[in-house]
Chains A and B, each alone.
Chain A
Amino acid sequence: MIDLRGKKVIALGERDGVPGPAVAECASRAGADVVLTLTACYV
């Protein structure tokens, strides 16, 4: 378990997996400061 409180987080997601905004939402609710959100598409 990683304690994300007060940490800066870059949220990298994937379209056919977990997209960036969903990663960012989880990190944010865990107390992180999300500084960048990106979603990749591998096709």
Chain B
Amino acid sequence: MPQVRIPCVPDAIEYAPKWALALGMIEDALRAKLPKGVVLADADYGTKTVFRDMLHVLGLQYAVGVQSTNKLRVMDAAGVLSERIERHRAVPLVGADGQLLGAMLPGHDEDDTLTGQVLLENLACKATASLALRHLLARPGAIAAGDVRYVINCGEEAVGDRYQRGGGNVAKAVAEWAGCGRATGSDVKAFCSGPMHALMIAGALVRGGLHDDVMVVAGGSLAKLGMKFQGHVKHAMPIVEDVLAGFAVHVSRDDGVSPILRLDAIGRHEVASGSAPLAVVKALYSEPLARVGLNLLDVDRFSLELHNPEATEPAGSGNVPLNNYRTLASLAVVEKLIAREGIDDFVRTRGMPGFSPTQGHVASAVPYLGHARRGLTEGRLTRTMFAGKGSLFLGRMTQLPDGLSLVLERNRANAGTA
């Protein structure tokens, strides 16, 4: 009988090895609080150093077979780390004093999307997003973790394996770590405009009645730590990009106090909007405002790119917030709302200095959200506008940028206060 080949099926597909499957089952058993016994396994498992190391990490005793050719070495912690780095391609984690503190093992021998470096970046993103959500849930009056039903993650990392590099749903992993046992979720990806899309979708889910409470979260970008270090070193200054950022936002039904997210005034950079600077700001600012009978001067404060210029200017990237505010002010001139001489005043009174770490999507408008909430509830603000821009072209699938803007207003029930 002739051999039949189906052309769309590859010749060999590598599945998880038996030791990895066993390890997963052992971890499941520990999570289920089963009593810890001694792990027994034959040499097929016992010869795998990673398997034995993980049993040790899990606090389990074990008796496993080995082959007669196996060499046994007694190593201290530093020796274990060194071996993982040298033999298993683990990424070394080195402290500021140069001391080796740990190592991040790859998740697979051959999968480039599961290298130690990739996993470390994904873990940093998950950890910082989880921390932000846990902080939010710990605030006085916050929703109980168990009542959260949906989480949207808009962090930048694409979590997956080589067959689905952007597989996603870090949101659910974050919800798990934050104790949101009844939540599910999904990821929203749109480069640095991701947070705006996520907030819009969260608002729509609440407005549509599907969920009463939606959490929008994002973790930090490990890859952006020291991103512009050459400029800092060149100017004999500290490498200031030394912090991972994260945020969590609770979008809920109208409580009569919190600011209102205007879903009728969403600014959209569309496929046909073009990439000329004025065309972009028109799509993001004046068009959505005009749709609800407003103009640029009806907005007390705009939140755009908020990257701290102390990090960007020494590297030759300029003052990003200031450049964007001046472009927006130019739109106000074109629309005859202010005179050309009023550009500086517009920037000063309706903008703000960049104060965010250069953590990409996190720096994109969101850092002002908490301040806006306070100003719109306890302060004198009436209306704020947030706009994020996404550099879609960096992925080489299009030349298009992206952008989305949102308007946040004082709650009408709260209009008489402050």
Taking Cβ atoms with an 8 Å cutoff, the residues of A that contact B are: 13, 15-22, 25, 37-39, 41-43
- The chain B residue with its CB closest to the CB of A37 is B399
Asked if B307 is an interface residue, CB under 8 A from chain A, the answer is yes
Taking Cβ atoms with an 8 Å cutoff, the residues of B that contact A are: 192, 274-277, 305, 307, 312, 315, 317-318, 320, 323-324, 358, 360, 363, 389, 391, 393-394, 399, 401
Q: Which 4 A-B pairs have the closest CB atoms?
A: A42-B317, A41-B391, A19-B275, A21-B275
Pick from A18, A25, A43 the residue with the most CB of B within 10 Å. A43
Q: How far is the CA of A17 from the CA of B192 in the complex (A)?
A: 16
Q: How far is the CA of A15 from the CA of B304 in the complex (A)?
A: 13
- The chain A residue with its CB closest to the CB of B277 is A18
List chain B residues, Cβ under 8 A from A37.
Answer: 399
Taking a contact as CB atoms closer than 8 A, the residue among B274, B323, B363, B399 that contacts A20 in the complex is B399
Tell me, rounded to whole Å, the shortest Cβ–Cβ distance linking B316 to chain A: 8
List chain A residues, Cβ under 8 A from B307.
Answer: 43
List chain B residues, Cβ under 8 A from A15.
Answer: 389, 391, 401
Taking a contact as CB atoms closer than 8 A, the residue among B317, B323, B401 that contacts A19 in the complex is B401
Taking a contact as CB atoms closer than 8 A, the residue among A18, A25, A39 that contacts B393 in the complex is A39
Check B363–A22 contact: CB distance below 8 A.
no
Check A22–B317 contact: CB distance below 8 A.
no
Pick from A16, A17, A42 the residue with the most CB of B within 10 Å. A16
List chain B residues, Cβ under 8 A from A25.
Answer: 276
Q: How far is the CA of A42 from the CA of B323 in the complex (A)?
A: 13
- The chain B residue with its CB closest to the CB of A43 is B307
Taking a contact as CB atoms closer than 8 A, the residue among A16, A22, A39 that contacts B276 in the complex is A22
A42 with B320: in contact, given A16-B305, A18-B277, A22-B275 (CB under 8 Å)? Answer: yes
A41 with B394: in contact, given A15-B389, A16-B320, A17-B323 (CB under 8 Å)? Answer: yes
- The chain A residue with its CB closest to the CB of B224 is A43
Check B399–A39 contact: CB distance below 8 A.
yes
Q: How far is the CA of A41 from the CA of B358 in the complex (A)?
A: 12
Tell me, rounded to whole Å, the shortest Cβ–Cβ distance linking A26 to chain B: 10
Q: How far is the CA of A18 from the CA of B276 in the complex (A)?
A: 7
Q: How far is the CA of A39 from the CA of B192 in the complex (A)?
A: 15
A20 with B393: in contact, given A43-B305, A43-B307, A43-B363 (CB under 8 Å)? Answer: yes
Q: How far is the CA of A36 from the CA of B146 in the complex (A)?
A: 52
Check A43–B312 contact: CB distance below 8 A.
yes
Check A43–B358 contact: CB distance below 8 A.
yes
Check A42–B277 contact: CB distance below 8 A.
no
19 inter-chain pairs at a CB distance below 8 angstroms, sorted by A residue, are A15-B391, A16-B318, A19-B276, A19-B277, A19-B401, A20-B275, A20-B393, A20-B399, A21-B274, A39-B275, A41-B393, A42-B312, A42-B317, A43-B192, A43-B307, A43-B317, A43-B358, A43-B360, A43-B363
Tell me, rounded to whole Å, the shortest Cβ–Cβ distance linking A31 to chain B: 20
Q: How far is the CA of A19 from the CA of B393 in the complex (A)?
A: 10
Q: How far is the CA of A15 from the CA of B399 in the complex (A)?
A: 11
List chain B residues, Cβ under 8 A from A19.
Answer: 275-277, 393, 401
Check B401–A16 contact: CB distance below 8 A.
no
Tell me, rounded to whole Å, the shortest Cβ–Cβ distance linking A9 to chain B: 15
List chain A residues, Cβ under 8 A from B394.
Answer: 41
Q: How far is the CA of A3 from the CA of B251 in the complex (A)?
A: 55
Tell me, rounded to whole Å, the shortest Cβ–Cβ distance linking A41 to chain B: 4
- The chain B residue with its CB closest to the CB of A23 is B275
Q: How far is the CA of A16 from the CA of B360 in the complex (A)?
A: 13
List chain A residues, Cβ under 8 A from B277.
Answer: 17-19, 22
Taking a contact as CB atoms closer than 8 A, the residue among B274, B323, B363, B399 that contacts A16 in the complex is B323
Check B401–A39 contact: CB distance below 8 A.
yes
Q: How far is the CA of A21 from the CA of B271 in the complex (A)?
A: 13
Q: How far is the CA of A28 from the CA of B178 in the complex (A)?
A: 53
Q: How far is the CA of A25 from the CA of B317 in the complex (A)?
A: 24
